[in-house]
A and B are shown apart, each in its own frame.
Chain A
């Protein structure tokens, strides 16, 4: 507990943009075959430092096979709401779930160079107290730390639907299930909210048997992955509306609401349209009558390719699907970044008009049957995947791996982990920084990135930008 609010808590997105820039990134180190323990790499982002762009510290966990994926903070700018009484928490701990083991690590990063494990929550405790498994997205909010899960109970996680559970934001004790009325929701992936407007939105990937051993082509072609998003009354814990994008919009993943809490819209990325292999972004918004609406506002076409250049999974299609696997919205709600992991491209859309996005910039890097090298001449394995934008919106960081078994299906002969950074032009446009290229230690791949002091996919704001 502090005597003053943590200086990294900001009342509005605008204040967060004006705050001092990030000095460190925390990035997942994934051992895809579980032969080594997973970890969190601390990357030096201070251009004046002698170790700029290097991994300066690693927190390697004691277990193997956790499969680190997404993670988040114990506390963020949401603590500045007097309603919840959390104003004096410290942004100090990273909550890091193992998506395969269902184990959760709490890592103390108060001193980034001496970051260490603070607490380990064993899978049995999560199973017992929540009935869920395979924890994924972390957000800190009114009732503590919210954790979405991809699996229900039982060995393969299909015994009951997955959902969200709540952890105490001071003791990290697992409290229990969030949902009181889940309505039609039977799959899960990401979630985020608007705190003053008191709504939450959640999305769907698939159930554990549909992803743990790789993508199941039959399930994909018969449209059995998730294709709906759910709107919730956040405080009442009730699903108030489900929007089905259409069954061909397979895997509705990242939910990115506008950061300014006066706005009632946001975006959701869809991995693949099974009718034409396009990637898609939907804009969702609250209509004048108070009900939620959604419309496809961005499509990204596949690229035709000779079968002999393609992995076996894609040979029959003679094309490279874009595979929109992550999106991120800048804090001023102006630019939406879209990772096309299959094509090997990072797109930047101007979404000032959320119903009419315009492509503003693009970088080619890696990609199926293309493998574009980094401007420094070194390779970028797989394609642009987890993307994180600096609070001031000037730097965009990303890593390369999607999910262990899926990497091996779409890029069968490749192995490695990289983190790169692109700079954003004054009037849009993105360009890779030649001097920023983090090559991960042998046997490790990269996944989600968290920036010191918060970033564009962690903090929830309770006051509008003015």
Chain B
């Protein structure tokens, strides 16, 4: 078993790695940033589009994480909440494994509304849920080490939710930004389709894996 500080560091790295992973996935939107810069014929449009995608993604993380941070107020139910969350995440992964269709309503969003699209796409794919077990693990470690009062604990958890969402979204934007810029400035559009891999299966399996990890750590005291 890892020591607490090491576990903490590992959980934060997992938050960042999941961000990089989401960012590299074209399905989370970086090709739209390339398209925006080319359509408007100015490089400025690229970071602007990435920014909109990031805001949408950040909000999608927060709408999932914040309710969980509130629930942790019920400290005596902590283990049950973590197990429940793990089951929920596994459920989402299993659903995506069985139902391989893409949600139709995403195609109804106007192509210029990148923030809205990013928010809906992240939720539809359970991107926020993927963070929940990691987030709950971090909160649990915080509580273990701090012995804080309940109120302080709750505000601490809310703050943690913001930090987790921010760290994850920053990593996502960085990864998407690097690949979008590289294609826009050097490689050219030909690489857009070349770098596109079908991650649907990997994504669904990741959710199941993260959910199982959450249950495991809840039951083993971290």
Contact = CB atoms under 8 A, between A and B. Distances in A.
Nearest to A5: B193
B35 interface: yes
Contacts of B102: 84-86
B198 A82 contact: no
A198 B197 contact: no
B35 A87 contact: no
Contact of B29 (A4, A82, A86, A463): A82
10 nearest A-B residue pairs (beta carbon): A85-B102, A11-B189, A142-B107, A5-B193, A3-B198, A143-B107, A84-B107, A464-B38, A88-B198, A11-B192
Given A143-B104, A195-B111, A261-B39, A83 B117 contact: yes
A462 interface: yes
Interface of A: 1-5, 7, 9-12, 15, 80-88, 142-144, 170, 195-196, 198, 235-236, 261-262, 462-464, 466
A82 B38 contact: no
A227 B51 CA distance: 45
Contact of A1 (B104, B193, B198): B198
Nearest to A14: B189
B107 A83 contact: yes
Interface of B: 26-32, 34-35, 38-39, 41, 100-104, 106-112, 117, 188-190, 192-194, 196-198, 200
Interface core residue of B100, B103, B117, B193 (most chain A CB under 10 Å)? B193
Contacts, number: 96
Interface core residue of B29, B108, B109 (most chain A CB under 10 Å)? B108
Given A82-B29, A170-B101, A463-B38, 17 more contacts: A1-B198, A3-B198, A4-B193, A10-B193, A11-B192, A15-B189, A80-B31, A82-B30, A83-B117, A85-B27, A87-B26, A196-B111, A198-B110, A235-B111, A462-B35, A463-B34, A463-B35
Nearest to A2: B198
Contact of B26 (A7, A9, A82): A82
B90 to A, nearest CB: 23
A466 B200 CA distance: 31
B39 A4 contact: no
Contact of A196 (B35, B100, B104, B109): B35
B76 to A, nearest CB: 42
Contacts of B197: 3-4
A196 B198 contact: no
A452 B190 CA distance: 20
A265 to B, nearest CB: 15
Chain B interface helix/strand/loop/mixed: helix
A112 to B, nearest CB: 22
Nearest to A3: B198
A381 B117 CA distance: 52
A466 B109 contact: no
A84 B104 CA distance: 8
Contacts of A142: 107-108
B121 to A, nearest CB: 8
Nearest to A166: B104
Contacts of B189: 11-12, 15, 463, 466
B193 A85 contact: no
Contacts of A7: 193
Contacts of B41: 262
A10 B196 CA distance: 12
Given A82-B27, A82-B31, A85-B103, A196 B39 contact: yes
B123 to A, nearest CB: 14
A85 B117 CA distance: 12
B38 A5 contact: no
Interface core residue of A11, A143, A198 (most chain B CB under 10 Å)? A11
A88 B102 CA distance: 11
B198 A464 contact: no
A4 B27 contact: no
B9 to A, nearest CB: 33
B183 to A, nearest CB: 10
A228 to B, nearest CB: 25
B29 A1 contact: no
A4 B106 contact: no
A74 B27 CA distance: 21
A385 to B, nearest CB: 34
Contact of A466 (B31, B38, B108, B194): B38
A9 B190 CA distance: 10
A236 B111 CA distance: 12
